Structure formats: structure tokens, C-alpha cells
Structure 1
């Protein structure tokens, strides 16, 4: 059952076997850390699924990020509006990279 807000608002069924995070992309890591830190929310050994950790169907490279050559090729011939939209997309990709990197390093 989904909905906006914290599962802590109604812990009737907690702790959960699975938590699906579909939230503000700039705070994804905060939500995942909250799930891990709260044993009343996620059962030990539970699964955390996070939406939108891919960009254009690809996983952002953990060490190198996106190739600048690919970015330059992609932007060739774009209108100003498309360039602004692409810049926002790259910023979001950077946020997702930070999230993916933090999850990868977590032991």
C-alpha cells in the first residue's frame, strides 16, 4: 500500500520486509539511511527498492561518470531549451551517481 508521507506515521504493519522508495531524488540517500537505521521500519535482512536510480536506462558509471564525448555529441544541434533541460538531467544524474556510489560503498 502506497502513499505520501512516512511509514512511521502509521507503523501498524511495520516492520516491513520490503520498502520501496519513490521520493525526492536529491534526498534518496537520506531515505535509505532512515530505513536502515530504523529496525522498526525495515526487518533485518529486508529489501530496499529505490526508484529512478538509472538515467536513460543506464547505470551511471561508479568511477568515471558519463563520458564527456557522449555528452558533447548528445548536445550537438540542441535548442537553448533542450540544452537547459539536458543540463538539469545531468545534474540529476550527478545526484543519482552520488546515491549509487554511497550505496556501493556501504558495507
Structure 2
């Protein structure tokens, strides 16, 4: 029999609610809580909070720009140059695509 290669331990504090939820998930999966945590370790993607905050700021700016374009189109319907509006929308679409990648 091979010795267990797991020699490192991490102590984590849980609230009563977190502990109960972890127990229930492990039980439903037919696993120990340790096995459940190890199993999910490779499946969880961790995001940089600052990057996410910056992305949200950019998306909010895009939303503000879209609202300004919509207000302008609604105000100047008769004079609205469709090509100009579409070009702005295409630029915004490209920016959103860049944010997603």
C-alpha cells in the first residue's frame, strides 16, 4: 500500500451555514467534505477582483454611451443620420467584443 501523498493541510473557518451547506453537498455527492473540496479545486475559476471591477466600470460607460445614442436618435429622429448611428453602434460592439476576450 502506497503512503498518502497529501502531506499539506489547510485549516479553514466556516460559519454554521457554510458548514451545513458543505456537509449537504458532500453527502449528496457521496463524498467526504475533503474529497468534495479537492474535486472542485480544479473546476473553480478565480477572477481577479480588480480586473472585474475595471471591466464593470467599462461596461457601465458603454451603457451610458448607448443611452446617449438612444436619446439623441429619439430627439432628432427626422435628422438622425442612420449611417453615423450605426457606425457608433459598431464601434461599441467591437469594444464589447474586446472586453470579452
Fold match by TM threshold 0.5: no
Higher gyration radius (CA):
2
More strand as a share of residues: 1
Name the TM-score, length of structure 2 as normaliser. 0.30
More helix as a share of residues: 2
